[in-house]
Structure formats: structure tokens, C-alpha cells
């Protein structure tokens, strides 16, 4: 039995890319502008839904639905001590993106440096460049 927690890289590339594209699109729209770096994840992944609709969520999760449920539940147990996300395609897909978004933003050293500072347009561009890699 493998006790290593699942990470975004353990999922198919199209799922990873969809979450990255969501982040990049929001950064391009200047989501998080003038807010502290610590709040960027919230603005990118918690102010609007990643996926709306049962069918779209099913298509996104595909044959990874049960693994995504495990990913979400492990995260919630580790961070909150309990599981709270309802098991529906839409809720799992959106929580998957929320968690994956944390992993994606960890790629940015600039975000680390701006954690307690308001982000300007240049900062958002640098963060976007760093998370693409």
C-alpha cells in the first residue's frame, strides 16, 4: 500500500492543463490585482466555479472520478480533519481544481516573495510565467 498522498502530477495531463489554463485565464484577466499574494489562490479558485454543470464535470473527471474523490477527501482529512465536500461530479471537479490550484501556485517563487504585499500587473504576469513551467 502506497501512503504517499496523491498530487496533481498523478493525474492525466489534460486534467492538469485544464486547471492551469483556468489559473492563467484568471491571471490574464487581472484576477487578484491589488490584493496580497496570500489571497491570490482564493481569487483564482474560490470566487467563481471552475466547472458549472453535471455533464461538463463528468467529462472533466472521466475515468479519474474515483481517484479525484480520493484526492479531495485526503486533502480535506489532512487539512480539516474531516470530509465535507459532497460527492457529486460538479463539487468534486471544483474542489479538485481548488486543491490543484494550490499545487500550481507553489511553482511561483515570485508569489512567495509577494505573499504579504499587494500584487500589481507585473507581479501577475511574472506569476503566470512561472506557473507555466
Q: Indicate yes or no: pTM above 0.75.
A: yes
Residue 3 within any structural domain of the chain: no
pLDDT higher than 70, residue 2: no
pLDDT higher than 50, residue 110: yes
> In this structure, what C-alpha cell is assigned to residue 86?
459532497
pLDDT tens per residue, range 30-61 = 999 999 999 999 999 999 999 999 999 999 99
Chain centroid, CA 77 distance in Å: 17
Residue 80 within any structural domain of the chain: yes
What distance in Å separates the CA atoms of residue 74 and residue 92, rounded to the nearest whole number?
Answer: 12
Residue 76 within any structural domain of the chain: yes
Residue 20 within any structural domain of the chain: yes
Work out how many domains the chain is built from and give that number.
1
Amino acid at each position: 500500500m502506497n501512503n504517499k498522498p496523491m498530487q496533481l502530477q498523478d493525474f492525466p495531463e489534460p486534467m492538469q492543463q485544464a486547471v492551469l489554463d483556468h489559473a492563467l485565464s484568471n491571471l490574464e484577466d487581472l484576477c487578484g490585482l491589488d490584493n496580497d499574494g496570500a489571497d491570490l489562490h482564493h481569487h483564482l479558485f474560490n470566487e467563481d466555479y471552475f466547472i458549472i454543470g453535471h455533464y461538463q464535470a463528468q467529462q472533466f473527471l472521466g475515468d479519474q472520478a474515483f481517484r479525484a474523490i480520493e484526492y479531495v477527501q485526503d486533502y480535506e482529512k489532512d487539512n480539516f480533519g474531516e470530509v465535507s465536500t459532497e460527492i457529486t461530479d460538479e463539487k468534486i471537479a471544483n474542489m479538485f481544481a481548488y486543491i490543484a490550484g494550490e499545487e500550481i501556485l507553489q511553482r511561483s517563487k515570485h508569489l512567495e516573495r509577494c505573499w504579504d504585499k499587494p500584487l500589481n500587473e507585473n507581479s501577475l504576469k511574472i506569476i503566470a510565467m512561472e506557473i507555466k513551467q
